[in-house]
Each structure stands twice: as structure tokens, then as C-alpha cells.
Structure 1
Amino acid sequence: MSNPHSRTADDAGSSGGRDAETVREHSVAAAPPREPLAGDAGLDAHLVVERSAFRLDVALTAVPGEVVALLGPNGAGKTTALRALAGLVPLSAGHLRLDGSALERTPPENRPVGVVFQDYLLFPHLSALDNVAFGPRCQGVGKAEARAQAAAWLDRMGLADHAGAKPRRLSGGQAQRVAVARALATRPRLLLLDEPLAALDARTRLEVRAQLRRHLAAFEAVAVLVTHDPLDAMVLADRLVVVEHGRVVQQGTPSDIARHPRTDYIAQLVGLNLYRGRADRHTVRLDAGPSITTTEDLSGPVFVAFPPSAVTLFRDRPTGASARNLWRCEVTGLETHGDQIRADLAGELPLAADLTTVAAAELGLHPGAPVWATVKATQTHAYPA
């Protein structure tokens, strides 16, 4: 991120009252990319940040062209990790190498890093064109050439007609694309995106997510995305790294994470009931609760997962049902979940069940109602813990 103070007020316009430190921290300009060393291209980081009541200890690697999403609940350490990569938070220990070069002691303004912040942080006094041109200007590119490069980026983003607009005249989706263009115009070797879609409404988010995916697919260096939204992560990333309490708890492709969650947080994100126990052939004795019959033939510690849609509810104990798994439960809560009703159940086995509004009405479901829950063995999935 090249030093934004290397340009004069005539080059970039008035700062509108921002102090120098704020402008420096929010700059997305980057130093010209260095040639990667053979075999060392990409990101190799071990981020350790010590704070009074929190410790971040996250290992992160990525190859050029790969999009990695840091996913986790609020307070997990995702943003701290992102800021450590950008150089805005110093490492207490560990290392940070990009294309074979150590960056631990490199000031933020000299790192080949582009950042798209959650609220975009466009310079309000500059047009969209000059916002994008700001990075190349910080790298020493002449004013005319920087603006030509910026115009090309805006055209690529479908914003050529908005080049002269100030940020206040842009929609949320347009501002987001300007912020991405501003980051990419510096040709970074590492692109960081902090909740890039969080500020958008649902309709705009759908459109911009698809556009951002296309731009990331064309990006030839490493991109790291921070989000708490599983859909953003699943759509935008090639690989997910799930962080809880400052540590990596699971990583893999979106499909692998969705199929094999290893914590309650991940299971809730992907919409699965998840349990841990010990398998003896097709029977899994849960650590806390009854047994579950599965189709997998396993032995030892395992996870068992099944979707809420696999659960069938009855008001009376079913007779002649083919389901191998049957538990007596009580409804503790009901909520709309898409076009269905999700019932939270407690009892022999705490679980969530999805059913239609018609089925919920016919069963007379309400908090406190007793029910029987069944799940067929063929609808469960067991895998080693």
C-alpha cells in the first residue's frame, strides 16, 4: 500500500478534514508487484497476535489465483487476521511471506496489498475516476496515465458512465465496485476484502455477489475474503478457513465443509443437525444422548449429521414406521425458515426439524407440544471425528 502522502493536495484533492493517520490506514494503494521467487509464489502466513484477553493464532496459505474465505462468528478474530495481513496490526509472533518475500517488518504503505474495506472508505471529495486513479498515482504513475488506467478499470466494472460521480452519488453496489476497482488498479499480489457485501441490501447483494465472483475468478494473485455470511463464502471462495476463538477449527472446499462440519457453529451455518459419538459398525452412541443408526460401517470417534428436512414429526408414537431412529421430544420454538417452519426440539435428542406450514398446522405444533421425531438411517451421514 504505497504512501498516500507522496501525492500533493493538487494531485488528490483536499482530504476533507481526514487526519493523515486515518488516510494512511484506509489507503488501498499498493507498491508495484515484485517478481515471485521460483516455488514461493503465493501466501504463506502464520499470524499470531496477542492481546490482553484474546490470542489469534492462525496459519494461512494460498496460491496465486486462489480465493480463500475466513469464515467465523463475531469476535472470532477474522478482522484481526485481515488487518495483520495488511500490516495494520503488528504480529506478536509467526511470519508473513508473500511471493517469497518476508513482510513482517514492511510498513503497510510498502506492501503489495490491496484492501476493500467493509464500508468502502472512498474519498468523498474525489470522483469515482480519481478514487481509482489514486493508487497508481501513489505508485508514481503520471496523472494522465493513472486516469487512463482508472477509466479502463471502471469500464471493466461496468461503471464507465459514472466516472465523474462523487461517492455520495453512487448506489451501494456502484460504490462497492469502485472500491474493488481502486484496490485492483494497484496490481496487488494480495487482495483483502473485509465483509465486502455487508453494506448492501438483499437485492443488490445478489447482483453484486455474482459480479464480484467474476472479478475474483479473473484475479491472478491471492485473494483473502473475511465474512460471517456462509453464502458469500460458499459462492466467492475456492477454499474456506473457519476461525473460532482465534484459531482455525476447520478448512477445506465449500462442499467439503458443508458435508462434513466439525463444530456446532459450522453445522448451524450449513443447516445440519450435528452430533459426536463413538461408532460400532452402524450404531453411533452419542457422547450426550441416545444412539443413532447410520448406513456407514465405522468404528471409533465419529460425527453424525443430517438436515432438518430429514426429520419427520408425529404427535403420537408411530407404528410400522420404517425409520430406524425414533426419539420423544418437545417443541421449544417455532420460526419461519424460508418457505417452511423450523421447529426446535428438546428431549431425548435436541434437534431442528423443517416442515411445511400445512404440516405444522395439522400437527398443532406450539412451544411445549410433545412430539415423536424420526430419521431414516439412509438420511444420516457419519464420518470420522
Structure 2
Amino acid sequence: MTDIDDTTAGSVAEGAHGDGLDARLVVDRGSFRLDIALRAAPGDVVALLGPNGAGKTTALRALAGLVPITGGHLRLDGTALDRTAPESRPVGVVFQDYLLFPHLSALDNVAFGPRCQGATKAEARALAATWLDRLGLAEHAGAKPRRLSGGQAQRVALARALATSPRLLLLDEPLAALDARTRLEVRARLRRHLAEFEAVAVLVTHDPLDAMVLADRLVVVEHGRVVQEGSPTEIARRPRTDYIAQLVGLNLYRGRAEGHTVRLDDGPAITTTEDLSGPVFVAFPPSAVTLHRDRPTGSSARNLWRCEVAGLETHGDQIRADLAGELPLAADLTTVAAAELDLRPGAPVWATVKATQTHAYPA
């Protein structure tokens, strides 16, 4: 799915029924226009993924009622929410910086929502205690936010959102404020809690790992439009834009297939194992690229290009070479291999990729 025009979005909405989220969010803000359709059933976890400025947070705020939609519709469990005030929507929100009340204990932070819904103080605190216990925070009930770690504060914010029994849970970059070690633990915990959540959850993130681990379905937004959506596996295997390809770590090209040969729109041909015809994408990982200082002879690789090293950077435990020339691409190699090749910016190299390591699919 490369785009959603007005006709498509309308047909999606008209065919929607039953429980869950059915929305077409149109928001005009000066020169920026958001126009995306979202559908999700109870129990679904949907991640909105995209670069900065794509419209992800605007979409989340529109769902929460913090930004008015200028067109489209918003229905939750069959009820229109377009004109419903934010505080009256059955929506829970976990903001990026959690926004816990600094003067209240963890218990009273969580009890705040039920109190606003009419529960007595005792009822609200009992419910809050139950949620804190479920999220492994019972011993921190009396602690103020400043005494909590980042992971604990994130769980208190999640408990506060869940304590109101929302039919839609919104999470804005829920792990962004955590350090790498805490993030790993909290991501696993959050995945378990989202798996148990019986309503719709929508999270915004720019981190592909968060999206892949936490969500059942990804909706990729660029320039205010949906450019691709599907399961994490589908998105990772068949990216359709440069942004997504970089996100999942693939070299991506577009061209026209004639059997096993794909002639690129702007570049040389690539030999693939797929037998296709017409517009296609071709993708392969940087690890599939083998570099040589001299033109290789007797190589079994069907794809061979002369390139030049444009840049080098550490990528995990490997070196990623950014290559310019006949076919711009990224290549991953070990530190030892990079040293043996004497790679440095400006060095000429030959790049090879076996046809079996490419993946072609219809554009």
C-alpha cells in the first residue's frame, strides 16, 4: 500500500463496522496536511512509524482530541468521537515524558483518573493499588515521581492510563526517555501488558525495534500520508520507500523487471532469482555485499559494480561502508576485513552481490 487517496479512505470508512477504531484523520495546519486512515480491532496494537515531521504525533493528538480534525471521522466502538471533549473520551494517554503529577505519590497519580470518573477516594485508591501491583510497583505506591527510576515512572504512567478502563490506549514514544539498558527491560514488560490489553492500542515511535517488538501492525507515515502498512515481517521484507529501507537496514532500488534482470530507473541492472515483469523493487542487506580492491575474477556473483568509498562508520560490531559510484549502496564488513582492504574515504572498490541474496517484488 503506497498511498491512501480520498476514495480509498472513504471506502475503508464506509465498510467499517463493529468494535474497535475506525478513523480517517484529516488535519490542516498551515502548509502541512495530515490525511490518514486507521482501522484496528480490540486487542490490536498498531504502531505509527515515520521520520520527524511526518505527522505521527499530530495523528495521536487528534485521536486524543487534543488537536481537532478538519475532515474525516473518528469512531470508537461504533461511537463518533469527532466532537467529544478530550476528557470525555474513553481514551488513555501515556506521554513521552509521562507527565506524572510531581506532588502526588504513585498511588495517587494512578487514582487521579478514576477520581475524575466519579469514584470515591477509597475506591480510586483501591483500584490504583491493584494496577500498581499488576505492573510490579506495589512497593513504590507511596513514592513521589522524583524517587522513581525511568522504568518505574513509565509503568506508573501506564497504570494511570489503564486505570480508567480506556477503549483506546495511546502511547507517545513510550520508551524514548529511557536509557538503553532500562529500555530493554521495559520494552519486554510493556509488550506483555499490551498483549493483555483488550481494547485498541496505538503507539507512536521512530524506533524500528520498539515498533517491531510491540506492535502487531505497522503504519508508516511520511509527509502526512500512509506510505505502507502491514505486519512487521511484511514491512521488513518488502520496504517501499527509502525511509523504510534504511529503517530495516536494506539497500533498496526501483526499476523495471524483464525476467531475472531488473533495469534500475537511475543506475545499472541487477540480476535476481525472481522471474518478474514490470515495475519492481529490489532489496538486499548490506551484509550481502562483498568488497574487493581489484576487479574479481572467477566470482560466482552475477552483480558486479565499480564504486568508491564515500564514508565509513561503526555499525554494531561491524564497519558500514557508504559507497558511491555506479550503484550507491551500503556494505557491512568486519573490522579485520576493512583493515585488510585498507578502506578509507575515496578508495576505489569493486562490490559484488549474489543474485540469490537479492529480493525483487512488484512495485
Q: Same fold (TM over 0.5)?
A: yes
- Matched letter for residue 46 of structure 2: V
- Matched letter for residue 106 of structure 1: T
Distance 2:24 2:135 in 1: 34
Equivalence for 2:195: 217
Offset at residue 145 of structure 1 (A): 1.1
Q: Does 1:273 align with 2:254?
A: no
Name the SS of the counterpart of 1:120 in structure 2.
coil
Equivalence for 2:34: 56
Name the SS of the counterpart of 2:198 in structure 1.
coil
Offset at residue 325 of structure 1 (A): 0.1
Distance 1:352 1:198 in 2: 27
Equivalence for 1:351: 329
Q: Does 1:207 align with 2:185?
A: yes
Equivalences for residues 68-147 of structure 1 within 5 A: 68-147=46-125
Equivalences for residues 1-385 of structure 1 within 5 A: 39-385=17-363
For 1:279-330, what per-residue CA distance to the aligned partner results, in whole angstroms no more than 9, with x for missing partners?
0000000000000000000000000000000000000000000000000000
Note the aligned Cα RMSD (angstroms): 0.7
Distance 2:246 2:229 in 1: 16
Distance 2:304 2:230 in 1: 33
Runs of 4 or more off by more than 6 Å in structure 1?
none
Offset at residue 261 of structure 1 (A): 0.1
- Matched letter for residue 225 of structure 2: R
Segments of structure 2 that go 5 or more residues without pairing to the other structure are: 1-15
Distance 2:270 2:175 in 1: 40
Offset at residue 39 of structure 1 (A): 4.6
Name the SS of the counterpart of 1:333 in structure 2.
strand
Distance 1:72 1:45 in 2: 19
Segments of structure 1 that go 5 or more residues without pairing to the other structure are: 1-37
Name the SS of the counterpart of 1:121 in structure 2.
coil
Offset at residue 139 of structure 1 (A): 0.6
For 1:54-92, what per-residue CA distance to the aligned partner results, in whole angstroms no more than 9, with x for missing partners?
000010010000000000000000000000000000001
Distance 1:186 1:105 in 2: 20
Distance 2:255 2:151 in 1: 46
Equivalence for 1:35: none
Offset at residue 142 of structure 1 (A): 1.0
- Matched letter for residue 313 of structure 1: L
Aligned residues: 348
Equivalence for 1:24: none
Distance 2:86 2:52 in 1: 25
Identity %: 88
Distance 1:249 1:285 in 2: 24
Distance 2:278 2:116 in 1: 59
Equivalence for 1:28: none
